Amino acid sequence: MIYLDHAATTPLDKEVLNEMLPFFSEDFGNANSQHTYGQKAASAVIKAREEIAGCINAKPSEIYFTSGGTEADNWALKGVALAHKDKGRHIITSKIEHSAIYASCKQLETLGFEVTYLDVDSEGFVSSDTLKNAIKDDTILVSIMFANNEIGTIEPIKELCAVAHERGVLFHTDAVQAAGSLKLDVKDLGVDLMSISSHKFYGPKGVGALYIRNGVKIEKLISGGEQERSKRGGTTNVPGVVGMAKALVKACAQIDENAKYVSSLRDRFVSAVESKIEMIKYNGPRHDRLPNNASFSFRFIEGESILFSLDLRGVCASSGSACSSGSLEPSRTLMAIGVPVGTAHGTIRFSFGKHNTVEEVDKTVEILADEVNRLRQMSPLFKQDKEKKEYV
């Protein structure tokens, strides 16, 4: 099998697994217990918090563990909205956010908040001017993703954050796709809140973190015990946070080398696909793009059929985004960058990882060219268009 769906999830790193194993067995303590078992768990959690903080230039007291990226995103939006509702009820986000942000915004609308969804350009970039013009006196929060999960666009977060701060507005970024692949320095960026998720950087699933700058007012999302400085109840997932810390430290130590390797595979793939397959669209930018992401729309055929054919031949990719696959709605991101609905339906995302090889890339291109060709031969749309010579 050739796994090219690292934006959906990554395999657990073996070293990370080994670091986690004792906390599933002999070191099973509850980090809140007073006895020796508890203390052992608590010190592992303290160490994990320090390591994660170190990787993003935060203080340990600014790291809050969650059950993943989705919870961190929900908490950032709902927690800030509830804590600041007397100041204002307007929130700004973009049209290409992950569903964790989008659905949270939709829910906040039903609770009396107003949300502006910013347009992006044809490569997925949010501009500072667009943001500047959208800020109102009652705006309390701006949430723009660090890097897009479908088309890889890396947003100018530092610039956008400065625009929000000029008007005294808090700034959150969903950095789930970026963490482990790109350098993240919360102090340099200036962000007030930032979400990350462990399983996107070779850590375990079901654990993530929200960075909350000291001094930012936020309501709880999960009520319960005194965990996470009384801001997020629930017994700490000790093996999870230990694994997340190990995975992030490892990813950060190899960040340049991994980005260089993975982007070389991606670039090789993109140029081979562009030279071997006609009537395609490469979605997203060629600069300021996640090193591992390639998104192509293949005209006249369905993404789902390509995906199925690839899977039969041992290649795992994704149609658009994992989170919108299974639904018939075209991806919000592709609509926002102006891809026509028909073309959007023929979209496949390939996301590379540190274990992929050049041989796998070449093999995938060969299989893909073959399958696209075969599916197009069966497509009535393709035949019509070919006769009229209306190539787009």
- Give the count of beta carbons closer than 10 Å to the beta carbon of residue 35: 9
Residue 295 binds ligand PLP (CB under 6 A): no
What is d(CA 348, CA 302) in angstroms, rounded to the nearest whole number? 9
Question: Catalytic site residue 323?
Answer: yes
Residues in 41-100 that interact with ligand PLP by CB under 6 A? 68-70, 73, 98, 100
| Phi/psi of residue 335, nearest 5 degrees | -65, -45
User: Shortest gap between Cβ of 26 and ligand PLP (angstroms)?
Assistant: 28
**Residue selected from 143, 197, 237, 283 as contacting ligand PLP according to rule CB under 6 A:** 197
Residues paired with 195 in a beta bridge:
174, 210
How distant is the alpha carbon of residue 43 from its chain centre?
Answer: 30
Q: Which is nearer to ligand PLP, 196 or 339 (CB)?
A: 196
3-state secondary structure of 208: strand
Binding marks (x or -) toward ligand PLP, 133..162, rule CB under 6 A? ------------x---x-------------
Residue 174 binds ligand PLP (CB under 6 A): yes
Q: Which is nearer to ligand PLP, 55 or 279 (CB)?
A: 55
CB contact at 8 A, 284 and 153 = yes
**Residue selected from 204, 208, 240, 330 as contacting ligand PLP according to rule CB under 6 A:** 208
What is d(CA 294, CA 230) in angstroms, rounded to the nearest whole number? 41
Part of the chain binding ligand PLP (CB under 6 A), chosen from 40-48, 102-110, 173-181, 256-264: 173-181
What is d(CA 338, CA 48) in angstroms, rounded to the nearest whole number? 42
DSSP states of 44-60: HHHHHHHHHHHHHT--G
Give the containing element (helix H, strand E) for 347. strand 347-351
How distant is the alpha carbon of residue 158 from its chain centre?
Answer: 18
Part of the chain binding ligand PLP (CB under 6 A), chosen from 26-34, 193-201, 294-302, 337-345: 193-201
CB contact at 8 A, 220 and 79 = yes
Part of the chain binding ligand PLP (CB under 6 A), chosen from 41-49, 57-65, 192-200, 250-258: 192-200
**Residue selected from 10, 74, 153, 177 as contacting ligand PLP according to rule CB under 6 A:** 177
Residue 191 binds ligand PLP (CB under 6 A): no
How distant is the alpha carbon of residue 380 from its chain centre?
Answer: 36
User: Shortest gap between Cβ of 35 and ligand PLP (angstroms)?
Assistant: 32
Binding residues (CB under 6 A) for ligand PLP: these are: 68-70, 73, 98, 100, 145, 149, 174, 176-177, 197, 199-200, 208
